[in-house]
């Protein structure tokens, strides 16, 4: 009998292993939406539901992950739909339609900047003057600096993290949620950069740091989310932000907008707190429902 579905294999295994460790036989079945957990004995379903409620309330409790350690599943990596077909296909499925569309837009704009730099930059750069008339006539400039990239390394780094972090939000919550928080973060981080640099900046990294902040705090304030930001990703990105303030990255890669990164991170953290509290107790797609 089906109890719940998880999009991530690692989470599914943790709960499955815990149920097995307390004498509730079960098994996992992979499907298009992720991994369904089925209880082998119908007599166990009531207790399994109680255990599921406890898991939703505190998914990071050591007892769940200890069960995975004992079973040897603790190091299992997340598996996405159609896993096993090819590495490229697995990577493709990490991104949803919006994730892919934004990535494609960034690539097209990058190509345009290299072919017709003056035209593309003049059309997309941040407003030179933040007046009501200027913003009203060209409102898109408050957002479009996020899709401007000036080097191959710049766009490659940003799109890698956009695909991973943005794709996670789109798969686990919704494209509308990803769009909404990305627009808010872009406006805040672009404004911070505009104050410091004027119109001469661009890049998706402020939004990426915002998504990081959102994914970091959202599940803390809504434990029912059923996921946590991986510590190695969090520490890497925060470490990269800290190194940026030393000036080393400016020497190696050119000007780095530390204010854009920090403002984006803070904006995303704020959204994670507010939306997490608003959704507190709600199950996300990670735990059988889609927001």
Between CA 177 and CA 175 the distance in angstroms is: 5
Residues 6+ apart with CB under 8 A from 12: 6, 28, 34, 35, 37
Tell the residue number behind the tokens 């940003």, with chain if given: 158
Query: Which of the residues 125, 149, 154, 261 is marked catalytic?
Result: 261
Q: Which residues pair with 35 in a beta bridge?
A: 6, 30
- Largest Cα separation within the chain, whole Å, is 70
Active site annotation includes 261: yes
Helix axes 258-278, 175-197, angle to 10 degrees: 150
Between CA 69 and CA 284 the distance in angstroms is: 25
Query: Which of the residues 205, 257, 263, 288 is marked catalytic?
Result: 205
Q: Which of 210, 105, 106, 87 is nearest to 157 (CA)?
A: 106
Tell the residue number behind the tokens 């401007």, with chain if given: 148
Please work out, in degrees rounded to the nearest 5, the angle formed at the alpha carbon of residue 143 by the alpha carbons of 142 and 147. Answer: 135
List residues with catalytic annotation.
205, 261
């Amino acid at each position: 009998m089906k109890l719940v579905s998880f999009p991530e294999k690692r989470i599914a295994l943790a709960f499955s292993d815990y149920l097995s460790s307390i004498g509730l036989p079960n098994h996992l079945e992979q499907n298009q939406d992720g991994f369904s957990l089925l209880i082998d004995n119908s007599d166990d379903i009531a207790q399994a539901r109680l255990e599921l409620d406890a898991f939703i309330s505190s998914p990071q409790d050591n007892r769940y992950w200890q069960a995975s350690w004992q079973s040897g599943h603790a190091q299992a990596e997340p598996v996405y739909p159609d896993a096993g077909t090819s590495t490229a296909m697995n990577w493709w499925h990490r991104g949803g339609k919006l994730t892919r569309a934004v990535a494609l837009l960034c690539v097209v704009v990058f190509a345009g900047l290299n072919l017709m730099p003056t035209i593309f930059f003049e059309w997309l750069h941040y407003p030179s003057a933040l007046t009501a008339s200027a913003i009203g006539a060209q409102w898109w400039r408050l957002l479009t600096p996020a899709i401007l990239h000036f080097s191959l390394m710049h766009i490659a780094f940003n799109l890698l993290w956009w695909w991973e972090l943005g794709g996670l939000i789109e798969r686990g919550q919704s494209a509308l949620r990803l769009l909404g928080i990305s627009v808010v973060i872009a406006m805040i981080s672009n404004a911070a950069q505009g104050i410091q640099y004027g119109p001469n900046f661009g890049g998706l990294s402020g939004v990426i740091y915002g998504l990081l902040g959102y994914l970091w705090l959202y599940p803390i304030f809504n434990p029912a989310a059923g996921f946590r930001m991986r510590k190695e990703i969090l520490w890497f990105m925060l470490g990269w932000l800290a190194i940026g303030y030393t000036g080393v990255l400016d020497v190696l890669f050119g000007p780095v907008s530390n204010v854009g990164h920090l403002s984006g991170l803070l904006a995303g953290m704020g959204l994670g707190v507010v939306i997490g509290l608003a959704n507190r107790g709600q199950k996300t797609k990670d735990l059988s429902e889609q927001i």
